[in-house]
């Protein structure tokens, strides 16, 4: 009964490929997010979705696109992968405005070779 | 934009002792939320404790407590009776309470906590 689940946990791919990371939450939360953790462990928000509407779109390359088929899912699609995209990507969710905190998935380690 | 600073890249403590992790933040807002997250080697991000800025009382969760100094914009985490399972990266995070929609967390760069047996 995982609260926020991401697949796959590990992803190794070649430069130039297109890949997707899936995220699902069963908490009934209103908002979902994608965070990127770089090699120095720094976490930065990429996107958030609230009721299927994009609320935050930080200055990430437009090769990254979030897709939300419904309130419980927020997938991350990445086109034309580059070496610099290698990182750990975390999905998270929160109820309302997240005052009580965010629940994170276990992360997807993406390695671009 | 808000910033969160954790000035201790790494801390080490003997098992059963007490350790304090520092966090300062910069904001012009008066209402916000602060969090400490733990990331063990498993990579999972785990919420340790949260604090609402409008509450003067410091939050506590079992062996974890905070020292929230709003005027100084300081939010330190104290871990009492340290256990081997406390070894992890600890991230301080800020979340605005204002704005027109859902806001994300702004994280510090983390403190790597080592527990010496």
Per-domain boundaries in chain B: 3-116
Average pLDDT over residues A77-88: 96
Question: With an 8 Å Cβ cutoff, are A41 and B89 in contact?
Answer: yes
Beta-carbon separation of A103 and B105 below 8 A: no
Mutate to test the interface with B, among A2, A41, A42, A52 (most CBs of B within 10 A): A41
User: Domain span at residue A11?
Assistant: 4-112
**CB of B101 within 8 A of CB of B112?**
no
Q: Does residue B97 belong to the interface with chain A, where contact is any CB pair within 8 Å?
A: yes
Fold of B3-116: Immunoglobulin-like (2.60.40)
Instruction: Please compute the mean of the pLDDT values over residues A36-45 and round it to a whole number.
Output: 93
CB B37 within 8 A of CB B111: no
Q: Residue A53 maps to which CATH number?
A: 2.60.40.10
Statement: residue A22 has pLDDT above 80: yes
Identify the pLDDT of residue A98. 75
**Residue A8: is the preceding peptide bond cis (ω within 30°)?**
yes
Domains of chain A: total: 1
What burial class does residue B13 get, using C-beta atoms within 10 Å of its C-beta: 0-12 exposed, 13-18 middle, 19+ buried? middle
Tens-digit pLDDT profile for chain B (117 aa)? 789 999 999 999 999 999 999 999 999 998 999 999 999 999 999 999 999 999 889 999 999 999 999 999 999 999 999 999 999 999 999 998 875 445 688 999 999 999 999
Please check whether residue B106 is in contact with residue B95, taking contact to mean a CB–CB distance below 8 angstroms: yes
Q: CA A74, CA A96: separation in Å to the nearest integer?
A: 16
CB contact under 8 Å between B44 and A107, yes or no, is yes
pLDDT of residue B101: 47
* Spatial separation of the C-alpha atoms in residues B72 and A90, rounded to whole Å: 31
Of B47, B104, B110, the CB nearest to A41: B110
- Asked if B44 and A31 come within 8 Å (Cβ–Cβ), the reply is no
């Amino acid at each position: 009964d995982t609260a926020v689940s991401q697949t796959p946990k590990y992803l190794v791919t070649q430069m130039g490929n297109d890949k997707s990371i899936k995220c699902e939450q069963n908490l009934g939360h209103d908002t979902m997010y994608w965070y990127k953790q770089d090699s120095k462990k720094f976490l930065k928000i990429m996107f958030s979705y609230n009721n299927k509407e994009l609320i935050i779109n930080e200055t990430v390359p437009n090769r990254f696109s979030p897709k939300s088929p419904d309130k419980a899912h927020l997938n991350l699609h990445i086109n034309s992968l580059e070496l610099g995209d290698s990182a750990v990507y975390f999905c998270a969710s929160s109820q309302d405005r997240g005052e009580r905190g965010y629940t994170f998935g276990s992360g997807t380690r993406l390695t671009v070779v | 934009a808000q910033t969160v600073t954790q000035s201790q890249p790494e801390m080490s403590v003997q098992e059963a002792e007490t350790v304090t992790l520092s966090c300062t933040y910069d904001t012009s807002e008066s209402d916000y939320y602060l969090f400490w997250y733990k990331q063990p080697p498993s990579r999972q991000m785990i919420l340790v404790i949260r604090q609402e800025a409008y509450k003067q009382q410091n939050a506590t969760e079992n062996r974890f407590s905070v020292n929230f100094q709003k005027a100084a914009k300081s939010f330190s985490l104290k871990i009492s009776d340290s256990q081997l399972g406390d070894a992890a990266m600890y991230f301080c995070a800020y979340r605005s309470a204002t704005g027109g929609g859902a806001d994300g967390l702004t994280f510090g760069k983390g403190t790597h906590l080592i527990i010496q047996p």
